[in-house]
Amino acid sequence: EAQVTQNPRYLITVTGKKLTVTCSQNMNHEYMSWYRQDPGLGLRQIYYSMNVEVTDKGDVPEGYKVSRKEKRNFPLILESPSPNQTSLYFCASSLFGRYSNQPQHFGDGTRLSIL
């Protein structure tokens, strides 16, 4: 089954304790992206990747890191989480569109609570 898998689905942790949210897709997609979704603010892009070893900042990259060592994986790292990073996070992937922007497929989401 074609899917984007995120782990963990839920996490409650404390300020300053490094955490990683994993994202893996099995569709051989080149493009991957991380979003956060907050009430009243909609989906905001954190980082994205066009392909292996190619990553770039989105709209709200502060406090986050990513890496793309393999095509299927795109982990999101919070080196020193703070309460303002409490949010619902989505990983998404798509084919790379050279002639038309391609629809993104979303993971089930990770609800992070930073105390």
| Residues 71, 96 contacting (CB under 8 angstroms) | no
Which residue among 85, 90, 112, 114 contacts another protein (CB under 8 A)? 90
Question: Which value, to the nearest 10 degrees, does the dihedral of the CA atoms of residues 71, 76, 77, 83 take?
Answer: 180
By beta-carbon proximity to another protein, the closer residue of 1 and 100 is 100
Q: How far is the C-alpha of 54 from the C-alpha of 94, rounded, in Å?
A: 15
Can you tell me whether residue 58 is helix, strand or coil?
coil
For residue 38, the minimal CB distance to another protein (Å) is 11
Structure tokens at 88: 């619902």
- For residues 42 to 81, the per-residue mask of contacts with another protein, x marking binding by CB under 8 A and - elsewhere, is xx-x--x-x-------x-----------------------
Cβ proximity to another protein, 12 vs 41, nearer residue: 41
What whole-number distance in Å separates Cα of residue 100 and Cα of residue 80? 38
9: left (phi over 0), alpha (psi -120 to 50) or beta: alpha
Least spacing, CB of residue 16 vs another protein, in Å: 27
- Is 1 a binding residue for another protein by CB under 8 A? The answer is no
Q: Which stretch binds another protein (CB under 8 A): 13-21, 34-42, 70-78, 79-87?
A: 34-42
Does 106 help bind another protein (rule: CB under 8 A)?
Answer: yes
Instruction: Assess 107 for contact with another protein (CB under 8 A).
Output: yes
